Amino acid sequence: MKKSISIKTLKRIDPDYSYLAKYIDEGKKFTVKQWVERYRGIILPSDIIILVLNNGSISVKDLRRFALWCVNESLKLMEDTDLRIVEAYKVGKKYVNGQASKKELNAANKAAWEVTDKSDPITYNMYYATCRAISGNAVDAAESASLYAASYLTYLKNANYSDIRASQLDHLLTYL
Residue extents of the structural domains in the chain = 4-54, 60-173
Determine the pLDDT at residue 13.
67
In this predicted structure, the answer to whether residue 141 has a pLDDT above a threshold of 90 is no
Q: How far apart are CA 41 and CA 82, in angstroms?
A: 39
pLDDT in tens, 147-166: 888 988 888 778 899 999 99
2 Ramachandran zone, left/alpha/beta (phi>0; psi -120 to 50): beta
Q: Tell me the whole-structure pTM to 2 decimals.
A: 0.86
Transcribe 98-137 into DSSP letters. Answer: TSS-HHHHHHHHHHHHHH--TT-HHHHHHHHHHHHHTSS-
Phi, psi of 44 (to 5 degrees): -60, 140
pLDDT in tens, 66-114: 999 998 988 887 777 778 888 988 999 999 999 999 899 889 888 888 8
Chain-centroid distance, C-alpha 139: 8
- Average the pLDDT over each of 6-20, 59-73, 143-157 and give the range with the smallest value: 6-20
Determine the pLDDT at residue 17.
67
pLDDT in tens, 34-54: 989 988 988 889 988 988 998
Q: How far apart are CA 47 and CA 154, in angstroms?
A: 17
